[in-house]
Amino acid sequence: MVVSSAPGKVYLFGEHAVVYGEPAVPCAIELRARVAVEARDDDRIRVHAEDLSLNGFTVEYSDESDDAPDVDVSESLVRAGIEYIDAAVEQAREAAGRPDAGFDITIESEIPLGAGLGSSAAVTVAGIDAGTRELGVELPPEEIADRAYRAELEVQDGEASRADTFCSATGGAVRVEGDDCRAIDAPDLPFVIGFDGGAGDTGRLVAGVRALREEYDFAADTVAGIGDLVRSGEDALAAGDLDELGELMDFNHGLLEALGVSSRSLDAMVWAARDAGALGAKLTGAGGGGCIVALDPTDRTETALTFTPGCEDAFRAELDTDGVRVEDEEDVR
Ligand code: PMV
């Protein structure tokens, strides 16, 4: 058996604008998905998943059965999770030249599903790494990132950026501009995350920004302004200037809000973080619901978020400089 893990991510800057060729800076966070893979004697796939959200649920799934999974989150989220695993298995089989390999797979994830923290990318990246290693093949992180991207493209009907999968495979802070993905230097980033318990509809939110951008020149300028902001953010990251990073996060949230992708609960969490003294705060990912990310080296933002109506979970998640890695078997039950 091989156990691999891969981190989730937040967008420090640049979501939505990245769709139009502007740069974005996602950062890996110390919340991981762990995937254990054991080769079987036959060509079947059996998946056992636990704790796929912060609240935890269990799903036992096997492609041998048509039973609906017994879970307390929407079945579509679970089905989507299983599609990522199937796509990861196909990539592992192809990379190892073993199209008929069967696996027993166990997944544990600390990353809430569908909330803008890259849960599907982390499961896909860790699954490809563990699957290929179990078949005796070791791929470099860049190839895992590329295969995970292709797996996401397949599941998401051709709509995926390389940001999540590259960031999860390599760890750290990353700069993504079109197909150009690279690691960038970053100081320790004291992230605090607030989660409203919900999820946004990425497709609808992206379409909304596209329509605004086509209708109004000033909306197109706003998207281009996010690109300029990201370039300033890269300089602040290189200089390790947390105060400026926070200021730019606040600005980035304002521009995303103007583009219509925030929500009442996301705004409430952003303001709670700012009032608590965070260096900056913004929504992360597609928006509409899900998570905000704040920068605060103290405990104050996490505490304030805990008491914010509409915030279901608040937790610290430092920048994770490790990408995909092999874990001890004991780490997955
Ligand atoms: O919510 P997430 O983590 O899937 O991020 C979506 C980011 C967008 O820029 C809105 C879309 C994209 O594919 O880049």
How does pLDDT run across 61-78, given as a tens digit for each residue? 444 444 444 444 556 656
- What residues act catalytically? 164
Cα 167 to Cα 170: distance, rounded to the nearest angstrom: 5
Given a contact cutoff of 8 angstroms between Cβ atoms, the answer to whether 44 and 63 are in contact is yes
Q: What is the residue-averaged pLDDT of the chain?
A: 90
**Is the beta carbon of 262 within 6 A of some atom in ligand 1?**
no
Q: Which residue has the higher pLDDT, 120 or 94?
A: 94
pLDDT for residue 58 = 39
Q: Which atom in ligand 1 lies closest to the alpha carbon of residue 161?
A: 13
Whether the pLDDT of residue 209 is over 90: the answer is yes
pLDDT for residue 115 = 87
Residue 258's identity, in one-letter code, is A
Q: Which atom in ligand 1 lies closest to the alpha carbon of residue 17?
A: 9
Q: Which residue has the higher pLDDT, 316 or 159?
A: 316
**Cα 211 to Cα 114, 199, 203, 294, 302, distances in angstroms:** 23, 21, 12, 29, 36
pLDDT for residue 72 = 47
Cα 204 to Cα 143: distance, rounded to the nearest angstrom: 31
- Rounded to 5, what percent of the chain is helix, strand, coil? 40, 25, 35
Given a contact cutoff of 8 angstroms between Cβ atoms, the answer to whether 154 and 128 are in contact is no
**Is the beta carbon of 16 within 6 A of some atom in ligand 1?**
yes
Cα 184 to Cα 175: distance, rounded to the nearest angstrom: 6
Mean pLDDT of 176-199: 94
Structural domains for the chain: 2-184 (3.30.230.10), 191-317 (3.30.70.890)
Angle value at C-alpha 189, between 54 and 307, nearest 5 degrees: 45
The answer to pTM > 0.85 is yes
Whether the pLDDT of residue 159 is over 90: the answer is no
pLDDT for residue 63 = 47
Cα 82 to Cα 63: distance, rounded to the nearest angstrom: 10
* Residue 71 burial (10 A CB sphere; 0-12, 13-18, 19+): middle
C-alpha of residue 285 to centroid of ligand 1, in Å: 5
Given a contact cutoff of 8 angstroms between Cβ atoms, the answer to whether 6 and 169 are in contact is yes
Cα 314 to Cα 49: distance, rounded to the nearest angstrom: 23
Contacts 24+ apart (CB under 8 A), 134-139: 134/1, 134/2, 134/37, 134/38, 134/39, 134/92, 134/103, 135/39, 135/92, 135/93, 135/96, 135/98, 135/101, 136/96, 137/95, 137/96, 139/95
* Residue 333 burial (10 A CB sphere; 0-12, 13-18, 19+): exposed
C-alpha of residue 162 to centroid of ligand 1, in Å: 10
**Is the beta carbon of 80 within 6 A of some atom in ligand 1?**
no
Whether the pLDDT of residue 99 is over 60: the answer is yes
Q: Which atom in ligand 1 lies closest to the alpha carbon of residue 205?
A: 10
Q: Of 182-186, 200-204, 276-280, which has the strongest mean pLDDT?
A: 276-280
pLDDT for residue 49 = 77
